[in-house]
Amino acid sequence: MTPTVAVIAPGAMGAAVGKRLSDNGLRVLTSLKGRSAATRARAKSAGMSDASDEEIARSDFILSILPPGDALSLAQHFVPVLAASNAKPVYVDCNAINPKTVEKVAAAIAPTGCPFVDSGIIGQPPKPGDSGPRFYASGAAAPRFATLRDYGIDVRVLDGALSAASALKMSYAGITKGTQAIGAAMMLAATRAGNADHLVAEFQSSQKEMLAWFKRSLSMMPPKAYRWIAEMHEIAGFVGDDPSARELYEGAAHFYEAIADDFESDKKKTDALLRFLNKSTP
């Protein structure tokens, strides 16, 4: 029998994952209670069906894909219905959270009797014709989650601790998104100082590959900055034993918070950043 998968929530990543599963023949559920018309339309376009909490608790897998600050509260929300359900779906936390938060989510799910999998997503939402992002997975039930490979999801099982997948995600995102924060901050500083053209020229001369990477990544960053605030705080917790590193990522969280606020208001910083990136176009 083909499994039923619940994906919560149908944001940019969740809806794209839901569509990939739906396109490969699975029934995909989600929760649209209190969601906007745009979210409902996105879920419908992805072939996802609105379902009650009780219906979701009878699925085979629950994939939690939402802003990291909501990971624990979502798990806690589903505890009563999962405890009452005889189905015991595999609960897969796919959020950008650090190992300590993983332990809290796993502890919340444990009394329900549902298997728990830690997963870290690396890559962009799946699109037609590509293999999609990598779902690194860890924990005793990770091989069960890996059966979704048969339905278009690239699941890669890791050995080690329950939270091995999130440790990898934190390390990777700390480098990529941390570098984006530093790069964007310096591009804006150069613009304020009036030497943006000089900085672009030097990058074009000595760091062409880095400039090309910044152009690709930072051009897509402002609409996503709001989601990266909590992620930077999670990474700060991940490196918490090193106070200076923690300060670095707390600073990145504040930077992304400022970008998110700017993007929702007058877009002065966003527009300045995009102007800088456009200077690098041959």
CA nearest 235: which of 220, 252, 258? Answer: 252
Q: What is the pLDDT at residue 1?
A: 85
Mean pLDDT of all residues in 267-279: 97
Q: What is the pLDDT at residue 17?
A: 98
Classified as helix, coil or strand, 59 is coil
Q: What is the pLDDT at residue 47?
A: 97
Q: What is the pLDDT at residue 114?
A: 98
Q: What is the pLDDT at residue 233?
A: 97
Q: What is the pLDDT at residue 42?
A: 96
Question: For residues 98 and 125, what is the distance between their CA atoms, to the nearest angstrom?
Answer: 21
Domain ranges of the chain: 4-161, 166-279
Say yes or no to pLDDT of 3 above 60: yes
Q: Which residues contact residue 234 at a Cβ distance below 8 angstroms, ignoring those fewer than 6 apart?
A: 68, 96, 97, 98, 101, 170
Task: Report the sign of the C-alpha dihedral through residues 106, 107, 110, 112, in that order.
Answer: negative
Q: How confident is the prediction for the chain on average, in pLDDT?
A: 97
Question: Residue 234, CB half-sphere, CA atoms under 13 Å: how many?
Answer: 31
Buried b (16+ CB within 10 A) or exposed e, 4-20: bbbbbbbbebbbbbbbb
Say yes or no to pLDDT of 280 above 80: no
Classified as helix, coil or strand, 28 is strand
**Banded pLDDT at 23 (limits 50, 70, 90):** very high
Percent of the chain whose pLDDT exceeds 90: 98
**What's the token pair of residue 145?**
């989650």
Say yes or no to pLDDT of 121 above 70: yes
**Banded pLDDT at 281 (limits 50, 70, 90):** low
Q: Classify domain 4-161 at the CATH superfamily level.
A: NAD(P)-binding Rossmann-like Domain (3.40.50.720)
**Banded pLDDT at 282 (limits 50, 70, 90):** low
CA nearest 88: which of 78, 97, 74, 76? Answer: 78
The pTM score is 0.94
Q: What is the pLDDT at residue 267?
A: 98
Buried b (16+ CB within 10 A) or exposed e, 204-236: eeeeeeebeebbebbeebbeebbbbbbbbbbbb
Percent of the chain whose pLDDT exceeds 70: 99
Question: For residues 238 and 18, what is the distance between their CA atoms, to the nearest angstrom?
Answer: 29
Q: What is the tens place of the pLDDT at every residue in 178-216?
A: 999 999 999 999 999 999 999 999 999 999 999 999 999
**What's the token pair of residue 208?**
């062409």
